[in-house]
Amino acid sequence: MKIGVLALQGAFREHRVALEKCGCEVVEVRKAEHLDGLAGLVLPGGESTTIGKLLNDFILLEPIRTLGLQGMPIFATCAGLIVLAKDIEGSQQPRLGLLDAQVRRNAFGRQVDSFEIDLPVAKFSGKTIRSVFIRAPYILKIYEGVEILASHEDKIVMVEQGNLLATAFHPELTDDLTLHQYFVSKCSEYVSSAR
Amino acid sequence: MVEQGTFRVKSGLAEMLKGGVIMDVTTPEQAKIAEEAGACAVMALERVPADIRAAGGVARMADPTIVARIQDAVTIPVMAKARIGHFVEAQILEALGVDYIDESEVLTPADDQYHIDKWAFKVPFVCGAKNLGEALRRIGEGAAMIRTKGEPGTGNVVEAVKHMRTVMGEIRRLQNLPKEELMTAAKNMSAPYDLVVYVAKEGKLPVVNFAAGGIATPADAALMMQLGVDGVFVGSGIFKSNDPAARAKAIVAATTHYNDPKVLAEVSRDLGEAMPGIEISTLPAEQRMQERGW
């Protein structure tokens, strides 16, 4: 199964390694032609303003939005979550706008306020996931159809909406493959339903 | 339990900067131009390296007011430089909340023998290196990101290329050594043994490695990326050129599409004059910033 990782800027290599450990073939996506035949797409962490600009300049916003609306699974982490969201507090930066939520950028503060923590996730039978938050956003508001999967100090940090999965933290910076495996299972369902 | 300032959190920010361009800026206006062009971070400075070189004298940490105004102007990470060994400048920059400190040879060293103990800080550090031993010493001191030194403020990429090729060549050499030779290799390059063992096994540095020092064009940025760096710093190259906004944007695109000559050809067009360059052999030894650091 072929999964794309948006490789415009940021920690795309770590997602590549995690997905390869899950047995996937990985394609680095820098142009629209790289989106052909994907079972899913990862939007990695990085700088959301940089990634948004490059998505716009290299004509990737519309093709990815179309695939997302068609039901292709998308897994977005940190900056990826910002790029995926409909509303970004106080910002007009380019975005996909697929996830029905409002996010706040740099919501936990500057780098000296960045942290890691064990986060329990009810969806995975309460299993704790080591979560690394780096100048991370969180979700201020969710709209209809969005399910909260995890919160930290009452702030929403992980959600799912149909084919979309998003975290404010970086599962790709740890060796825990739980979230990537879950995403890959969504991708296989998508592939078999499309047949 | 919430843990802050762990090495994973410090090096993690560098991971997020990969594939991006970090630009030197001296005013909030320049910082906005950089952010608008797609910079993944800015380096807040009082003067860019070319002007530091021209001014001579002692170059120090920027005035906190300049750093704070640049922090207020942009939402991307803001870095700032401290002098080599000047841990109080680093304490001040940490108190200001900068996102990364560059313990930099561009400024005049404050200690002629020792670098800052970077483990003592919650804020992460980036340091320059000309070779693998120097890179591993800095990482041993707690640096969470490495960059080539190159020769800052020259607009001449040759030294950055030399430093990157040196590091990569030394990594390849370590990979081929039998285990019993690694201790002597560590001794010969004055590097911590455990880090030498890591590099021999993994074939890469344990932290992100950027290019810096002399990058002036989109092609320079792509050259460094093809040589294997994770991203680029552009110091004087942008705001000493005659169309900074266009050049900044082109270097960002070239860093993403470093392996696509068609895109590189497209973004390299009509950028106006690059910064004036300096041929390295015309620089007297005492003016070579890369020799600073131990």
CB contacts, 8 Å: A30 with chain B: 256-257, 260
Residue A195, pLDDT above cutoff 80: no
Using CB atoms, pick whichever of A46, A111, A115 lies closest to residue B40: A46
Q: Residues near A59 by Cβ (< 8 Å), separated by ≥ 6?
A: A32
A47 in contact with B, Cβ within 8 Å: yes
Scanning chain B, the segments in alpha helix (DSSP H) are: 7-17, 28-37, 49-55, 64-73, 87-96, 132-140, 158-175, 182-188, 193-202, 218-226, 236-239, 244-256, 261-267
Does residue A133 have a pLDDT over 80? yes
Taking CA atoms, what residue in A is nearest to B18? Answer: A10
> CB B4 to CB A110 under 8 A?
no
Whether residue A9 and residue B15 make contact (CB cut-off 8 A), yes or no, is no
Task: List the single residue in A with minimal CA-CA distance to B20.
Answer: A9
pLDDT digits (tens, 9 = 90+) for B122-147: 999 999 999 999 999 999 999 999 99
Q: Write the DSSP symbol of residue A190.
A: H
- Cβ distance A47 to B17 less than 8 Å, yes or no, reads yes
pLDDT at B244: 96
- Of A15, A34, A152, A170, the catalytic one is A170
| Nearest CA distance, B131 vs chain A (angstrom) | 24
Overall average pLDDT of the A13-18 stretch: 97
Q: Is B1 exposed, middle or buried (0-12, 13-18, 19+ CB in 10 A)?
A: exposed
pLDDT digits (tens, 9 = 90+) for B209-254: 999 999 999 999 999 999 999 999 998 999 999 999 999 999 999 9
Using CA atoms, how far residue A11 sits from A8, B19, B248, B253, in Å, is 10, 8, 21, 17
Rounded (5°) CA angle B133-B135-B140 = 90
Residues of A in contact with B257 (CB under 8 A): 30, 58
Q: How far apart are the CA of A46 and the nearest CA of chain B, in angstroms?
A: 4
What is the spatial distance between Cα B92 and Cα B46, in angstroms, rounded to a whole number?
Answer: 16
- Tens of pLDDT, residue by residue over A66-94, are 999 999 999 999 999 999 999 999 999 99
Which residues in chain A (117-156) have CB-CB distances under 8 A to chain B? 117-118, 132, 134-135
Segments of chain B scoring below 70 in pLDDT: none
